[in-house]
């Protein structure tokens, strides 16, 4: 029995245009009936999913984390399962789920993998897979161009981060968690749902995308150079044990700032403070490698 799949590819993703035909050939070998759609503007992908929601059994998305963020709300609304072709730069969701960056293996996972229901984060009405953050990450997002990512790949994140770190200045914020209020000076607040973000950094050491919690950290440093010693620990999430890093976890947070500050969800700026963050347990089904 063949499955009907809507194949959505972001042609602007790092490998999107170049590997589209290869992906189609692999998927057809697994007997998928494909409806192929692409767009120059990922924001239109949700409309395409709704257009075909009664004609397909699953949605296959080729692109990076930004492309996946563009479809996440439509996946929640239609409850169509998701297959992932990691064709972006960072591919943090694929990394979290153990999906190979090898295109043939990713196609095999979609054909032969198991469905796993995962949590989503939610901020001000917008769902996210990996992380939502404000501060340094927003500056990185605004400076990280598509051309730079396409040319330098994962190294583009590190280079851009170093460019903006020295410009960082603390801002005032208020975090509400359960019945506690924290008034802080910080350069970054990150709220993670999955495990990886920002090109392979871990939000906390034990984060999981189905643990029904959010993990928050705040970088409460006074001078830009204080972040340098934290960078190696951020690869595995152990920065949360440092003295100038605040770490919290829970199912809901509220963040307030003196003026509205942009919030980055999975690499895309989508909302502003004041912000309410929540975890939505078992919100979508994704095809992952069998255990």
Tokens of 84: 């992932």
CATH architecture of 126-281: Sandwich (2.60)
What is residue 138's predicted lDDT score, i.e. its pLDDT?
Answer: 82
Helix (H, G, I), strand (E, B) or coil at 182: strand
What is residue 145's predicted lDDT score, i.e. its pLDDT?
Answer: 58
What is residue 37's predicted lDDT score, i.e. its pLDDT?
Answer: 83
What is residue 221's predicted lDDT score, i.e. its pLDDT?
Answer: 87
Question: Which residues of the chain form CATH 3.40.50.10330?
Answer: 4-112
| CATH number at 4-112 | 3.40.50.10330
Q: Which tens digit of pLDDT belongs to each residue from 153-205?
A: 555 556 666 666 667 789 999 999 998 999 999 999 999 999 998 888 899 99
In terms of C-beta density within 10 A (0-12 exposed, 13-18 middle, 19 or more buried), how is residue 213 classed? middle
How far does Cα 270 stand from its chain's mean position?
A: 12
Question: Which residues of the chain form CATH 2.60.200.40?
Answer: 126-281
Pairing of β 245-250 and β 252-257: unpaired
Alpha-carbon distances of 119 from 3, 42, 58, 128, 133, rounded to whole Å:
25, 22, 18, 9, 17
Alpha-carbon distances of 241 from 225, 245, 272, rounded to whole Å:
18, 7, 28
Query: CA angle, 278 as apex, 273 and 283 as ends, to 5°?
Result: 130
In terms of C-beta density within 10 A (0-12 exposed, 13-18 middle, 19 or more buried), how is residue 223 classed? exposed
Tokens of 155: 């190294």
Measured between alpha carbons, how far is 115 from 178 in angstroms, rounded to an integer? 33
What is residue 12's predicted lDDT score, i.e. its pLDDT?
Answer: 63
pLDDT < 50: residue spans in the chain = none
Helix (H, G, I), strand (E, B) or coil at 96: helix
What is residue 157's predicted lDDT score, i.e. its pLDDT?
Answer: 59
Measured between alpha carbons, how far is 152 from 228 in angstroms, rounded to an integer? 22
């Amino acid at each position: 029995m063949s499955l009907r799949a809507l194949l959505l590819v972001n042609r602007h993703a790092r490998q999107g245009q170049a590997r589209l035909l290869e992906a189609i050939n692999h998927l057809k070998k697994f007997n998928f009936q494909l409806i192929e759609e692409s767009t120059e503007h990922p924001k239109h992908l949700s409309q395409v999913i709704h257009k075909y929601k009664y004609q397909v059994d699953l949605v296959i998305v080729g692109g990076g984390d930004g492309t996946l963020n563009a479809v996440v709300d439509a996946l929640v609304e239609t409850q169509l399962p998701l297959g992932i072709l990691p064709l972006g730069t960072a591919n943090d969701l694929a990394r979290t789920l153990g999906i190979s960056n090898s295109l043939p293996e990713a196609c095999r996972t979609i054909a032969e993998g198991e469905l796993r229901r995962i949590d989503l984060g939610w901020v001000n009405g917008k769902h996210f897979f990996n992380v939502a953050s404000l501060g340094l990450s927003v500056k990185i997002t605004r400076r990280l161009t598509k051309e730079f990512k396409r040319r330098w790949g994962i190294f583009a994140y590190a280079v851009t981060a170093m460019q903006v770190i020295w410009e960082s200045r603390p801002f005032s914020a208020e975090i509400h968690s359960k019945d506690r209020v924290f008034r802080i000076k910080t350069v970054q607040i990150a709220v993670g749902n999955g495990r990886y973000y920002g090109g392979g950094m871990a939000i906390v050491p034990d984060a999981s995308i189905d643990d029904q919690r959010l993990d928050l950290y705040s970088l409460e440093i006074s001078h830009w150079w204080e972040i340098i010693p934290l960078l190696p620990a951020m690869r595995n999430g152990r920065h949360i044990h440092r003295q100038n890093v605040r770490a919290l976890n829970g199912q809901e947070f509220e963040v307030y700032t003196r003026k509205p500050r942009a919030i980055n969800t999975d690499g895309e700026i989508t909302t502003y403070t004041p912000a309410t963050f929540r975890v939505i347990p078992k919100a979508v089904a994704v095809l992952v490698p069998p255990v």
